Chains A and B, each alone.
Chain A
């Protein structure tokens, strides 16, 4: 029983309500937001340490033990993802305070920002399938509102934001309906919604030959694949992520697609562990995502769209690890997940800075920015190195781990295709950097970018370097995570050892 787990969901709701009430006092409102976001970051890191030291923490809501009531479960995977998300949220919040016009932050932006935070934390921590659906909806509703918020530089037209949001909304409403359908299939057959309990009963029913449960597994691949922008459900991402205000782009590309990947990890390790066909489908989807994202990123001229397509490609690498369903594969996937969150959110924030300096979105009309904006050039270079998978940054280690896992499982065709994708990654990443910072161009000076924008970029870039040079502890953590989730019994015993097994 851990109160910390519940606080990580309760504090964002409380902050959202408080920022809504405090709209008259903007300074106080911003202070509350920053203090709360910092507390969430520190609290989630404390939770990782607690889980690491004493095992899986659970919190039983309203006194009904599992499997009857809803439980919040923090295993190493959930706790680490909450910690990474909270850090990215903090960086995005600090950036927003220097970037978003105060008129919009006062009324809708800050409350929605914390509702989104609550949805993400809840989705990672909940141990109940229907509750996961509810947190998804909280997340999505906040995103719709945040994407259409107008920003200071207004390089993105209102029409574009509205169209992107409408597209996202329609797709996600269909996704929600499919998710409910899958939940209905599982509940109708097993009579439970608790994920630990489901794991036991699905396993037992499949052993008896109940193949229709696999239908639910495929529906979940569609639902989570839509969230993770896996091919063929990737086409919304390059519209929605660039249309959002810069800090929200960072949150979307850094965290929100991770929620989909997290769902797929839970699906393959907890609900349907060891089901060959599910893993094979994920592998195929992964390799298609990886290659298509990289090829399309090569052709982009819009800086934010290029980063969005690269997110799709990077998700492919991550899903390869998930699809392998081995300890090495999952460890690589989780390592990739954590580091891609840092890399991509940093790159989107830096892209926002670049767009602010040049007043341009198109790579064609940029150039020669290295002189005027040395800090942006350096941080963007770190991000580009990470996307390309070159040392000494974290992106190198994450790709290395994925390749290693592929070799150890003997998947040489996939390895070859992934290497092609990685090569394309080098091309599109450096093409962007060269176009923006080298050559001739109007240039511009980064002095107009405030410290509140540069500080989060520099902090995230620093983390990318640290996890690249001193990767050993993080690799140790992700290996421990993979070991813990590979055996569903660890999760089941922590959530409901007695009632579920009887």
Chain B
């Protein structure tokens, strides 16, 4: 189970890195959302001490319930931030009349 998760996490990280590097504002937001989910999977995998549902008195080693509470919080935050990011990207693309971040050149930084 854990080795499957590791493969999924690695694939998600790779997809996220590819999408963020691509330079298209919408793909960037999608990539960031995938990155957040890759990290969520990673946190879940940390809690895989056993595969029994966690409650007091379970037979066998239960999975760690705390990490599940953590990623629930992370998912909710991720949802809010992604919604805002998509809205921002939409306004930005309309204002700049381009989807490529290469064209957003007002700031040299």
The CA-CA distance from A148 to B38 in the complex, in Å, is 30
B43 within 8 A of A: yes
The answer on a CB contact under 8 Å between A134 and B77 is yes
A197 to chain B, nearest CB (A): 13
User: In the complex where A166-B88, A184-B39 touch, is A174 in contact with B109 (Cβ < 8 A)?
Assistant: no
Structural contact, A181 and B39, CB atoms closer than 8 A: yes
Given that A170-B28, A181-B39, A184-B46 are contacting pairs, would A141 and B88 also be in contact in the complex, using a CB cutoff of 8 Å? no
Interchain CA distance A82-B109 in the complex, whole Å? 30
Tell yes or no: A487 within 8 A of B by CB.
no
Determine which residue in A130, A158, A239 has the highest number of CB atoms from chain B within 10 A of its CB, and name it.
A130
Considering the complex, give the chain B residue whose CB is closest to the CB of A191. B64
Contact with B along A231-245 (1 / 0, CB 8 A): 000011011000100
With both chains docked as a complex, state the minimum distance between the C-beta of A148 and any C-beta of chain B, in angstroms.
8
A184 near B43 (CB under 8 angstroms)?
yes
The smallest C-beta distance from B65 to any residue of chain A, in angstroms, reads 12
CB distance from B20 to the nearest CB of A (A): 8
A203 at the interface (CB under 8 A from B): no
A144 to B82 alpha-carbon distance, docked (Å): 12
Q: Is the CB of A239 within 8 A of B107?
A: yes
Distance in Å: Cβ of B94 to nearest Cβ of chain A: 10
Contact A170 B107 (CB under 8 A): no
Please name all residues of chain A whose beta carbon is closer than 8 Å to the beta carbon of B88 when the two chains form the complex.
144, 148, 162, 165-166, 169
The chain B residue sitting closest to A192, CB to CB, is: B66
B96 surroundings in chain A (CB, below 8 A):
159, 163
Interface residues of B in 3-42 (CB under 8 A from A): 20, 25, 28, 32, 35-36, 38-40, 42
State whether the Cβ of A46 lies closer than 8 Å to any Cβ in chain B: no
- Residue B52 at the A interface, CB < 8 A? no
| Chain A residue total in the interface (Cβ 8 A) | 35
| Contact mask for chain A residues 107-145; partner B; CB cutoff 8 A; 1 contact, 0 none | 000000000000000000000001000100100110010
A209 within 8 A of B: no
Kindly provide the distance from the CB of B31 to the nearest chain A CB, expressed in whole angstroms: 9
Verify if B91 is at the interface (C-beta below 8 Å from A): yes
Q: Kindly identify, within residues 88 to 109 of chain B, every residue whose CB is under 8 Å from any CB belonging to chain A.
A: 88-89, 91-92, 95-96, 101, 104, 106-107, 109
- Asked whether any CB of chain A lies closer than 8 Å to the CB of B53, the reply is no
* Chain B hits for A130, CB < 8 A: 70, 73
The 8 Å CB contact of B104, one of A166, A180, A236, is A166
Interface: A167 (CB within 8 A) = yes
Q: Which residues of B contact A162 (CB under 8 A)?
A: 88, 91-92, 95
Contact with A along B41-61 (1 / 0, CB 8 A): 011001000000000000000
Q: How far is the CB of B107 from chain A (nearest CB, A)?
A: 4
**A-chain residues with CB within 8 Å of residue B40 when the two chains form the complex:** 180
* A239 close to B67 (CB less than 8 A): no
Inter-chain CA distance A134–B32, complex, in Å, is 18
Contact B36 A173 (CB under 8 A): yes
Contacts of A159 in B (CB 8 A): 95-96, 106
Given A141-B81, A235-B109, verify A163-B70 contact (CB < 8 Å): no
What 11 new A-B contacts, CB under 8 Å, besides A130-B73, A163-B96, A163-B106? A163-B92, A163-B104, A169-B81, A173-B35, A177-B35, A177-B36, A180-B36, A180-B40, A235-B109, A238-B109, A243-B107
Taking Cβ atoms with an 8 Å cutoff, the residues of A that contact B are 130, 134, 137, 140-141, 144, 148, 157-160, 162-167, 169-170, 173-174, 176-177, 180-181, 183-184, 187-188, 193, 235-236, 238-239, 243
Q: Which residues of B come within 8 Å of A, CB atoms?
A: 20, 25, 28, 32, 35-36, 38-40, 42-43, 46, 66-67, 70, 73-74, 77, 80-81, 84-85, 88-89, 91-92, 95-96, 101, 104, 106-107, 109
Chosen A-B contacts, 9 in total, with CB atoms closer than 8 Å, are A159-B95, A159-B96, A165-B88, A166-B92, A180-B36, A181-B42, A184-B46, A187-B43, A239-B109
